[in-house]
Amino acid sequence: MPARAASFRSVFAVAGFRRIWLAHLLSVAGDQLARVALTVLVFDRTSSAGWASATYALTFVPDLLGGALGGIADRFSRRTVLVVTDVGRAVLIALMAVPGLPLPAAAALLFLVQLMAGPFHAARQAMLPELLDPDRLVVGQAVLSSTYQAGLVVGFGAGAAVVTGLGVPGALLIDAGTFALSALMLRFGLERFPPSAPSRHERPSLIAGCRLVARDRELRWLLLIACCCGFYVVPEGLAVPVAAELGDADALPWLLAANPVGSVLGGILLSRIPRERQVKVLGALTVASSLVLLPAGWAPGLIPIVVLWTISGVFSAHDMITQTQYSLAAPAAHRGQVIGVAIAALRTAQAAGIAAAGLLAQVVAPTTVVTVAAGAGVVVACVAGVGWSRAVSSRRGPEESEDPRGPVGGTTSAGEHGS
């Protein structure tokens, strides 16, 4: 009989996790505030919606490169990586608040701010398995994921209110303050966590991380499962044209909120399932995330589409299971490095999915594009799910099936997860 799932109370009972969660909350708030403030700043100076949207998109691009820096989390104390990247972001954002700063300089500083997020996320993700046992780890992932999704839901409104009340420089200084506060909290609230890399002669790189993942069967399939987000993220990227297709001026907020709200609900529901069962249903949940979007092209109106997108968000909460299993399958010595691979892969999948969908939406209806992406996602997810199930079955022996760590927990294979 599977053990009961860990509780949220048991996760927050770990002091180190509480510090990480509070720092994560501050980071999410600061990120959204910075995006809104910079978008407003660019629009005010250029009167161009195109440049304003391009500035918002720029806040995501450096994650593709930042993932390559994930190995830093193995070469230095993970606490040090967290603190230094937070201090660095605080300083850079404070510089962005300087009145009259040229837009190219502001864009360059913004790029550097987002670039530093890669090592920060890798270090945080690599630290979690050292703070939480496997059963509590998946609940911890659910808390962090739900916090992020909730931040997306309320971030735009709250960010706009702050920018309106304090102006762009004031909003950016508050953002810098959130990162400074996070750095203080992590510096004095966490253990040092010494470097984990075994040899100073091994230089971490994205290529080396890819080799580690490629050599581990479970990590390969988990990474493919994670990259399936490139298909079911398409509704988020097409929310504006879908709202225009529906001809409903009030549709956009509902469309934008559908997936984050679903993800929060899904995280809460899945965290109540014992980890052994989570591992078994991972493939099915991945398929369902895209499968439920297939009727989008024939949905009669806003309400059915919002319902479908929200249900897809519920199923997409499986990413917390993926992250947990990826982390547990990785050797501690290379955890940050392989997490960096996952961060880069996820951002690439999301960017490629949204870009391809945007091009296709130039020639066919946006809701049809969602259906096409969903169909492709179902196919890829089926392949990834079957591969993952076989990988788990091949490792689990008769005596290992009763291992309290679970089918992959605590192994020392060559790889790990991210984002």
> Residue 302's domain is classified under what CATH number?
1.20.1250.20
What pLDDT is recorded for position 115?
81
Contact (Cβ atoms closer than 8 angstroms) between residue 149 and residue 260: yes
pLDDT band at 290 (very low <50, low <70, confident <90, very high): very high
Q: Rounded to an integer, what distance in angstroms lies between the CA atom of residue 273 and that of residue 225?
A: 19
In a domain, 411, yes or no: no
Mean residue pLDDT of the chain comes to 80
CA geometry: angle at 341 spanning 338 and 343, to 5°? 115
Look up the domain containing 393 and give its range: 8-402
At residue 150, does pLDDT exceed 90?
no
Greater confidence (315 vs 405) lies with 315
pLDDT band at 180 (very low <50, low <70, confident <90, very high): very high
**What Cα–Cα distance (Å) separates residue 295 from each residue in 250, 255, 299, 382, 389?**
22, 16, 6, 18, 27
Q: Following DSSP, what letter does each residue of 239-263 receive, concatenated? A: HHHHHHHHT-TTHHHHHHHHHHHHH
What pLDDT is recorded for position 411?
33
Q: Rounded to an integer, what distance in angstroms lies between the CA atom of residue 239 and that of residue 370?
A: 10
What DSSP character marks residue 228? T
**How many domains, in total, are found in the chain?**
1
In a domain, 391, yes or no: yes
Q: Environment class of residue 63 by beta-carbon count within 10 Å: exposed (0-12), middle (13-18) or buried (19+)? A: buried
In a domain, 419, yes or no: no
Contact (Cβ atoms closer than 8 angstroms) between residue 72 and residue 336: yes
pLDDT band at 2 (very low <50, low <70, confident <90, very high): very low
Contact (Cβ atoms closer than 8 angstroms) between residue 34 and residue 172: yes
In a domain, 407, yes or no: no
User: For the segment 86-119, what is each residue's pLDDT rounded down to a tens digit?
Assistant: 999 999 999 988 888 888 888 788 888 878 887 8
